[in-house]
Amino acid sequence: MTAIRDIEVVVFDVLGTMVDEPGGLRSAIREATGLSGPTAADELVALWRRHCEQERERVRQGQRPYASTEVLDAGAARLVARHAGVTDPGAVARLATAGRRLPAWDDSAAGLERLSRRYPVMGLSDAGRTALLHLNAHAGLRWHRALSAEAVLAYKPAPEVYRLALDSAGCPPERVLMVAAHAWDLRGAQAAGMRTAYVHRPAGDPPTDSDDFDGRFDKLGDLVGALTGSQAEAVG
Contact indicator for 157, 48 with CB cutoff of 8 Å:
no
pLDDT in the model for residue 38: 72
CA atoms of 18 and 16, how far apart (whole Å): 6
Query: pLDDT class for 33, splitting at 50, 70, 90?
Result: very high
84: buried, middle or exposed (CB in 10 Å: 19+, 13-18, 0-12)? Answer: buried
CATH number of 9-20+103-233: 3.40.50.1000
Q: Say whether pLDDT at 234 is over 70.
A: no
- SS3 state of residue 119: coil
pTM: 0.93
pLDDT in tens, 188-218: 999 999 999 999 999 899 999 999 999 999 9
Contact indicator for 2, 112 with CB cutoff of 8 Å:
no
Domains 9-20+103-233 and 22-100 are alike in CATH topology: no
CATH class of the domain whose range is 22-100: mainly alpha
Segments making up each domain of the chain, as ranges: 9-20+103-233, 22-100
pLDDT in tens, 92-133: 999 999 999 999 999 999 999 999 999 999 999 999 999 999
